[in-house]
Amino acid sequence: MSVLIKGGRVVTAADDYVGDVYVEGERVSLIGESLDVQADKVIDAAGKYVLPGGIDPHTHLDMPFGGTVTIDDVESGQTSAAFGGTTCHVDFIIQPKGQTFAAALDEWKAKANGKQVIDMGYHMAVTDLKEGGTLEELASLPDEGITSYKLFMAYKGALMVDDETLFRTMQVAADTGTLVMVHAENGDAIDVLVKAALAEGKTEPRYHALTRPPETEGEATNRAIQLSRVAGSALYVVHVSCRESVEPIAIAREKGWNVHGETCTQYFFVDYSFLERPDFEGGKYVYTPPPRAKENQDVLWNAVRTDVLSVVSTDHCAFLWDGQKTIGRDDFSKIPNGAPGLENRLQMIHEFGVRAGRISLNRMVELLSTNPAKLFGLYPRKGTIAVGSDADIVVFDPEKKVTISASTHHSKSDYNLFEGTEVTGVPEVVLLRGHVLVEDGELVASPGIGQYVRRAKFGEELKTAAAVA
Ligand SMILES: [Zn+2]
């Protein structure tokens, strides 16, 4: 199978030109002006953007959490990703307490088996380290293509680890070329505040934010940065939501430390006031860290523009509002934390980042594809359009208008964080390794086409076909 994408505006993190892209098999084999080649399929991309497929390094599909399980499994979650122009993601395996990492990996691979619509890798969320067991096993994960460890500094009594576990994991990471990812909030302080609020009868969704003040995120971010310095590991702070955590990351990067950070689409658009919506509608916006005061949104736009933050992910962790979120109708601490978002990242960042003049088109590609590929051992096989790279390509119509809605999205969730938002710009054709995934608003490929990707170590390249040849 060969595909010729003709006359589109090809945009990577570095380039922006009108040209043809020729795909043979699963990889890009030729790029040029007015290519004279025969192809099985020709896509007229005149007036369209030709972008590398999105890479979302932060998702939770088919994950048990808060006494329930996320509503999107691998098939529905990856289908919504495909419609949104995301062709690869890295999901979190959560080590069940007392289990080996090998057992956890087998369990997560079984959940994905036969259901994969896009390519995927895994991070390992470490919840429990035992000397003479999982502590030693940690070092073997890069051999499985798992080259990032995740630690929760919050969710006391559930996923949270103590500083000893965090620090020991950082020491292993420094030895094995693995990236340490942290959910940075001070879980002990938050636990005190949550219990005090509930004792005073404060049960509405807004108390989710009021018991997790931004200082608890700032403190944990700084603690993780300092500990990673002592251990000598690279650090990646997930879902940065506020000035208090942007500032320590900015200082670390100015000093040239090996510290990286992401924010998520929703933090630019959903603020604290959403949690105050009546009749438990505020429950839709209960995710962690919580929606913050609106002035943080400008801080985040500045941070992604100036490379203080390097990635925009979604933290897609979808639940039903009616039936799952409502578990916590009378107690905010029982509302499952998380929200859908895999499908809308490119549209929202294009509209309010690029079209609003906050970031360039190149920077958008860098934040949504190239930087996640580089940080998570997928580049240059993924994250760019180049000879030898996987033909993960989005033909994007920058003029088409749509209104975002749960009635048309592909997640199984019954609400959308951006309901009613009008955006200009739609992924029109989406290719995964040269196979057409989405065209004319339909999923063309069948589940099973997606593959597990063994990622390279932190700072190393995942070789392309051309480089291997
Ligand atoms: Zn998450």
| 56 Cα: distance to centroid of ligand 1 (angstroms) | 11
Q: Which of 416, 417, 422, 424 is nearest to 397 (CA)?
A: 424
Task: Give the pLDDT score at 465.
Answer: 67
Task: Give the pLDDT score at 67.
Answer: 85
User: Is residue 378 scored above 70 in pLDDT?
Assistant: yes
Q: Is the peptide bond before 278 cis (omega within 30 degrees of 0)?
A: no
Query: If you average pLDDT over every residue of the chain, what do you get?
Result: 97
- Rounded to a whole number of angstroms, the CA Rg of the chain reads 21
Task: Give the pLDDT score at 66.
Answer: 79
- Count of CB atoms within 10 A of residue 225's CB? 23
Q: What is the pLDDT of residues 412-433, one digit of tens each?
A: 999 999 999 999 999 999 999 9
User: Is residue 460 scored above 70 in pLDDT?
Assistant: yes
| 353 Cα: distance to centroid of ligand 1 (angstroms) | 23
Share of the chain above pLDDT 70, in %: 99
User: Is residue 464 scored above 90 in pLDDT?
Assistant: no
- Alpha-helical (H) ranges within 203-280 are 206-210, 214-231, 243-254
Residue 235, H or E segment: strand 234-237
Q: What is the pLDDT of residues 130-167, one digit of tens each?
A: 999 999 999 999 999 999 999 999 999 999 999 999 99
| 26 Cα: distance to centroid of ligand 1 (angstroms) | 31
| 424 Cα: distance to centroid of ligand 1 (angstroms) | 28
Residue 171, H or E segment: helix 163-176
| 466 Cα: distance to centroid of ligand 1 (angstroms) | 35
Task: Give the pLDDT score at 468.
Answer: 61
| 92 Cα: distance to centroid of ligand 1 (angstroms) | 8
| 340 Cα: distance to centroid of ligand 1 (angstroms) | 11
Report the pLDDT averaged over residues 79-96.
98
| 307 Cα: distance to centroid of ligand 1 (angstroms) | 21
DSSP state of 170: H
| 460 Cα: distance to centroid of ligand 1 (angstroms) | 25
User: Is residue 466 scored above 80 in pLDDT?
Assistant: no
Q: Is 150 helix (H, G, I), strand (E, B) or coil?
A: strand
Residue 61, H or E segment: none
Q: What is the pLDDT of residues 52-74, one digit of tens each?
A: 999 999 999 999 987 899 999 99
| 182 Cα: distance to centroid of ligand 1 (angstroms) | 10
Report the pLDDT averaged over residues 87-93.
98
| 319 Cα: distance to centroid of ligand 1 (angstroms) | 13
| Cα dihedral 185→165→156→297 (10° resolution) | 20
User: Is residue 337 scored above 90 in pLDDT?
Assistant: yes
Task: Give the pLDDT score at 43.
Answer: 98
Q: What is the pLDDT of residues 348-357, one digit of tens each?
A: 999 999 999 9
| 299 Cα: distance to centroid of ligand 1 (angstroms) | 21
User: Is residue 467 scored above 80 in pLDDT?
Assistant: no
Asked if residues 360 and 354 have their Cβ atoms less than 8 Å apart, the reply is: yes
Q: Which two tokens stand for residue 123?
A: 């991070």
Q: pLDDT confidence of 24, banded at 50, 70, 90? A: very high
| pTM for the whole structure | 0.97
| 344 Cα: distance to centroid of ligand 1 (angstroms) | 16
Residues 6+ apart with CB under 8 A from 361: 11, 16, 49, 354
| 386 Cα: distance to centroid of ligand 1 (angstroms) | 31
| 150 Cα: distance to centroid of ligand 1 (angstroms) | 10
| 104 Cα: distance to centroid of ligand 1 (angstroms) | 17
Q: Which residues pair with 452 in a beta bridge?
A: 120
| 467 Cα: distance to centroid of ligand 1 (angstroms) | 34
Q: What whole-number distance in Å separates Cα of residue 108 and Cα of residue 393? A: 27
| 183 Cα: distance to centroid of ligand 1 (angstroms) | 8
Task: Give the pLDDT score at 115.
Answer: 98
Q: Which residues pair with 442 in a beta bridge?
A: 439
Asked if residues 90 and 148 have their Cβ atoms less than 8 Å apart, the reply is: yes
| 60 Cα: distance to centroid of ligand 1 (angstroms) | 6
Phi then psi for residue 124, to 5 deg, are -110, 115
User: Is residue 171 scored above 70 in pLDDT?
Assistant: yes
Residues 6+ apart with CB under 8 A from 134: 95, 100, 101, 126, 128
Looking only at the bridges linking them, the beta strands covering 234-237 and 179-183 are parallel
